[in-house]
Structure 1
Amino acid sequence: MKIIVLLMSLAAFLLVTLPGPLYKSGIVELGTAFAGFKYAVIAGIAALILLIIQMLFKRKTVTFTSAAVAIIFSLVAIIMPLKMMSTANNVPAIHDVSTDMTTPPEFVAIAPLRADAPNPAAYAGIETARKQREAYPELQTLQYSQPKAELVAAVEQAANNLGWQLVNTDSRSGLIEATDATMWFGFKDDVVVRVEDTGEERLVDIRSKSRMGKSDLGKNAERITAFIKELDAVLSQ
């Protein structure tokens, strides 16, 4: 029974950890990858139930090491999908986030790269803006005193520091475009940063949009927040 428990918990662990890399490498489709999460939870619960039965009726076959491994693998398989579900329930179901929701920065060089993406390059609209205001009121246009050229260079440096792939930099218009990929599944999200000179100050707006998926699980807002922090760090050097 110990072997069955270990194999079940291992299967659960693999069902929750492998879908991302397998999808990223093109071995499985997204639907199959997400289905793995559901079966991981089922397998993880089943493994814990079998472990309890083993401890009740075949206590002599239980060792600390085997029980610990089974519990850890099973809990990982159960907690990870549930955590994703919890995140999805606590963030708005949007995939387009911008510090300027009235006239959001537009994708130019990146637009052709999104031609076949489920989510078009155009801004997602009024309802998305409303949900963003409620969830992320802190994301607003940034104001700086540095010259426009210095800000453009700092934006490029911050993007490079964050590991983004720069696609285009138009210093004259103050537009910087880049692509970022999520670590686990490798989902591609696009970012456009706009630097405007009003004469008295420089305004910086950032927009991050997923190429696919109705909800980004908060990733785009998280990315913009990280970028703002990195940009301020670059400018303070």
Structure 2
Amino acid sequence: MELSLRSPRSVIFAFFSIWIIGVALIKVASPAPDFSTTFPDECPYDSQNCSGFGIWNHRTEQTGPLVFSGSIEEAMDSVKEWASDLNRASIIHSNLTSIHIVDVTPFLRFEDDVFIHIECMEENTLIHARSSSRVGVSDLGVNPDRLDSLISHLKLGGSSSHGC
């Protein structure tokens, strides 16, 4: 059986081949940053592919750090719970006060980095977060939406105790 360019099989094969090549090129063009020993930089002033709150304030309604009602450990547990609820996310690195998560977009498999830092200041547990795309000029609003999701989750969590 000879396949022509118009046969459904050849169209599907061509589409799938282009998709595989595109995903591979995106992966090669977006090396993973190492946030195991350093914090990420601030989002560039005019960036449309990065957002954050707290020390990385950019493109979010939450301007300062989020005050969490609970200890640093409870905050980290809540962040890890949020990350596990994301469909295509994985924790790359975490310690007592920071976590680096990679969330992958559904179709083209863009890898976005989410970095969260938790600290105790004046008996308050403060959470700072940054979400950024590795490649591209715009994130089409994905990063601010992701941080809004994190904020909503953290506001539901916590305990009745305040303080670190």
Which sections of structure 1, spanning at least 5 residues, go unmatched? 1-6, 32-105, 112-120
Alignment match of 1:166 (pick from 73, 86, 91): 91
Q: CA deviation digits over 1:152-175, x for unaligned, max 9?
A: 11111111112320111111xx00
Q: Which has the higher helix share?
A: 1
CA drift of 1:122 comes to 3.7
Runs of 4+ in 1 over 6 A off after TM superposition: 131-134
Residue 144 (str. 1) matches residue 63 (str. 2): no
More strand by share: 2
Q: Give the deviation of 1:26 after TM superposition.
A: 2.2
Q: Which has the larger radius of gyration?
A: 1
- Give percent identity, aligned residues only: 23
Distance 1:152 1:134 in 2: 22
Unpaired runs of at least 5, structure 2:
1-5, 26-32, 52-56, 160-164
- Answering whether residue 33 of structure 2 is matched by residue 109 of structure 1, we say no
TM-score (norm 2): 0.65
Distance 1:194 1:22 in 2: 40
Distance 1:157 1:29 in 2: 28
Q: Which has the higher contact order (CA 8 A, sep 6+)?
A: 2
Shift of 1:198: 0.8
Q: How does 1:12-23 map to 2 (within 5 A)?
A: none
One of 102, 121, 128 as aligned partner of 1:179: 102
Query: Would the alpha carbon gap of residues 153 and 201 (structure 1) be closer, same or farther in structure 2, given more than 3 Å must change?
Result: same
Q: Could you say which residue in structure 2 is the equivalent of 1:68?
A: none
Contact map agreement 1:181 1:189 (CA 8 A) in 2? yes
CA root-mean-square deviation: 3.6
> Deviation per CA, 1:104-129, whole angstroms, max 9, x where unpaired?
xx961398xxxxxxxxx643433449
Aligned length: 135
Q: 1:110 to 1:182 in 2, by over 3 A?
A: farther
- The alpha-carbon distance between structure 1 residues 29 and 235, as it changes in their structure 2 partners (threshold 3 A), is closer
1:4-43, Cα deviation, whole Å (9 max, x unpaired) = xxx9xx9xxx8xxx96x766x5234799xxxxxxxxxxxx
> What amino acid does structure 1 have at the position aligned with 2:85?
N
